[in-house]
Amino acid sequence: MPDRPTAVITGASSGIGRATAQRFAADGYEVCVNARREPLLRELVETLPPGDHLVCPGDYSDEHVIDRMGEAIRAAWGRLDVLVNCAGVSVPVDVLDTPWQTWRSALDMMLNGALLTSRMAAALMPAGGRLIHVTSIHGTRVERHGSSYAVAKAAINQLCRSLALELAPRGILVNAIAPGFVRTPMSILPDGTNELDSQWFHENYVQGQHLPLRRAAQPEEIAGVAAFLAGPDATYITGQVLTVDGGLTITF
C-alpha cells in the first residue's frame, strides 16, 4: 500500500476536474485520473508532482470502464481514500419536444457515472473515506433548455444523501459541491464564444444585482472546497450539498 493518501478524480481532462487533480497531487495524494480523452489525462499527469499516479481513461458511466479502474487501483494501491466525481455533460434540450433518448442522455450518463464510481470507490475504502460529487446549483434552480442536466444534478444530490446514510456505519462521509458560474470549457457556447465574457453576463451579473461577488469562480476555487471536504477539518460533515456560487442563489 502507498504511504500517501489516494484519490480518484473523474472529469480530470479539463475544468474543475483538472484543477482538482492538480490540487490533490500538490497536497500529497496519489491520484487516479479519469476522462474520455486519454491524451489530455497523460498530459495532465506529466504536470503533477512525481508519484504513483494512475491514468484510467474512458466513459465513467460505463461499468466496464469502472471495473477496470477498480482493478487498477486495487493492484497499484490496495485501497482508495477519496473519490471526487467532477465529470459532467450538458445537452441542450426542449422539455416537451426533444426525443426521449436524447433528453435522458445527460441524466443517464451523470447519474449512472455517479452511482458506478461510488460503488467502486466504497468497495475499496477504509473507515474515514470520502465520496465527493460535484453537482450544480441547477440541482435546485432551472433555466430554459437545461431540464435533463438539472434533473441529473438533483438526482446526484439525493444520491449523496442516501449514500451518506447507508455508509455512515462504515465511517465513510459523502457530500456534494454545487457550483454556480465557473470559468471552464462548459461555459463555451456552440458558436465558440464564452458566455462569461458576454454582454448578457456582464449586464446581469457584473453590473447587475444577481451575483454579489460579480464574477465567475475559477476551477481552483471549487477544487479547494473538495480538498476541504476530503481533509481533517471535515470529519463531521456528511450528506450535505455545499453551494459555492459567489452568492448567486441568495438573490432574487
Count other Cβ atoms within 10 Å, centred on residue 191. 5
d(CA 226, CA 176): 9
| Nearest Cα residue to 149 out of 118, 116, 103, 194 | 103
Quick check: 184 and 20 in contact, CB under 8 A?
no
CA 148-153-155 angle, to 5 degrees, is 95
Quick check: 130 and 236 in contact, CB under 8 A?
no
d(CA 134, CA 114): 10
Chain centroid, CA 60 distance in Å = 12
d(CA 57, CA 37): 7
Is 149 considered catalytic here?
yes
Q: How is residue 227 written as a grid cell?
A: 480538498
d(CA 183, CA 196): 7
Catalytic residue, from 29, 60, 149, 205: name it: 149
| Nearest Cα residue to 69 out of 4, 12, 154, 16 | 12
Q: How is residue 92 written as a grid cell?
A: 441542450
Question: What CA dihedral angle connects 155, 156, 157 and 163, to 10 degrees?
Answer: 110
Q: Which residues are known catalytic residues? A: 149
